[in-house]
Amino acid sequence: MRLTLIALSLVILAGCGPSAPAPALNEGASAPAATPASGPESAPVGGPESAAASLPGPTRLDGQGERGLYAFKLTPMPAEPVMGQIFQIETRVTDARTNAPILGATFKLDATMPQHRHGMMTEAVHKELGEGRYLSEGLKLHMPGAWEIRVDVDAKAGHDTIKLPYEQRPVATPR
Ligand SMILES: [Cu+2]
């Protein structure tokens, strides 16, 4: 029973193509307003409290490495990357015990969709900014859904890695 369910959900999750929304075309394109499918206005406008509660909070992108050597704090720029658009992440790496910045590390950051078994379509470039800060450029999440951002650091104290779940929102459909 359980196995069947798991297998089923895996099959569903594995579907990469079908769930991908059509790529946004040039806004200038004189598309004759594709059927403005009567929007699902079913969402009731609740009180301010309930509305706030239903909003997904900002993703926390920090924590300690798996070996407990370093602490990582990731700051995406912009703060909420848009699906399919290039963005950057600045990662601050510190000693998990002393809080001292980790300098001169071999730094790598990558994003994958573990359930789909694929990564990004771009290759990120990393550079050290100083004071334990590392900049990753050229990141792009081309699908909505569950991504995992992984950082690998090699420094004097050794190698450590952190894997952070990140949910990419779909692009809002134009009206
Ligand atoms: Cu995918």
Give pLDDT tens digits for 126-165.
Answer: 999 999 999 999 999 999 999 999 999 999 999 999 999 9
pLDDT of residue 6: 42
Q: What spacing in Å lies between the alpha carbon of 30 and ligand 1's midpoint?
A: 30
Q: What spacing in Å lies between the alpha carbon of 15 and ligand 1's midpoint?
A: 8
Tokens of 142: 């081309």
Stretch 7-27: mean pLDDT? 43
Q: Where are the domains of the chain?
A: 55-168
Q: What spacing in Å lies between the alpha carbon of 12 and ligand 1's midpoint?
A: 12
DSSP 116-136: TTEE-SS--EEEEEETTEEEE
Domain spanning 55-168, CATH architecture: Sandwich (2.60)
